[in-house]
Amino acid sequence: MKSTTAAPEPRQLTAKGQATRARILEHAAALIYAEGVHATNNDKLRRAAGVSGSQINHYFPTKESLVLAVIEWQAERVLGLHRSEQFDGFESLEGFRKWAAFYIGYERAYHEGCSLGSLASEIIKTDLDVHDELADAFAQWREIFRDALLRQQRQDRLSNEADAEKLASLLLAAFQGGMLLAQVARNISPLRDALESALDYIETFAIPHDTQAVGTESAARVP
């Protein structure tokens, strides 16, 4: 695979083609994580994914197109999880607490780290023209947090004094930094401390429940 040609335009694939492409991407992501972008080549990927070299070149004719696709694939996995209902849509601070607890409680979190963050740390060392796509993936992640905080402000759950943009950046930085330190320490404590501290700070902007319920016998339960 050469490293200078841009990724090809997406094309319609058969179900079998989609499965083959997904298998190649999954193994490419694992190889990049384990050995780095430069060490990931056709021969290693062919053996790992159980496909032919011609199949790899068919779906990813250049090194750059492969890395771009890996970024997209990994971002879809991370962003899809955050856009799901698993964390109650981040409609309350409790949703953010569930999100933190999910990663803190994940048994291999400090071994594996953040899949997108680990990918980024490898890719930024290269001269491939993929940095904009990588930055966009993190921007979308940050926007999920920001939009949730803005919704909480509109619903009078969070003070308008809170800067949703900055708090979203704080959450993402706490997660990425905490995950990296947890990997180094081989202990989940740095991630737990970083996320809990960030969420405790955000909670200082929370509007008390009884304040929202003035004039009623009881406030509606926060979903």
- pLDDT of res. 1: 47
pLDDT at 4: 39
pLDDT score of 212 more than 80: no
Tell me: pLDDT of 108 over 80.
no
- Expressed in angstroms, the distance from the first to the final Cα of the chain is 50
Tell me the per-residue pLDDT of 116-150, one tens digit each, with 9 for 90 and over.
998 898 888 888 889 999 999 999 999 999 999 99
pLDDT at residue 180 is higher than 90: yes
| Sign, Cα dihedral of 26, 32, 38, 44 | negative
- Tokens (6 digits) for 190: 């740095």
86-101 tens-digit pLDDT: 998 999 999 999 999 9
Which one of 3.40.640.10, 1.10.10.60, 1.10.260.40, 3.30.1200.10 gives the CATH number of domain 15-61? Answer: 1.10.10.60
Break the chain into its structural domains and give their ranges. 15-61, 62-208
DSSP state of 90: G
Class of domain 62-208: mainly alpha
Quote the pLDDT of residue 110: 76
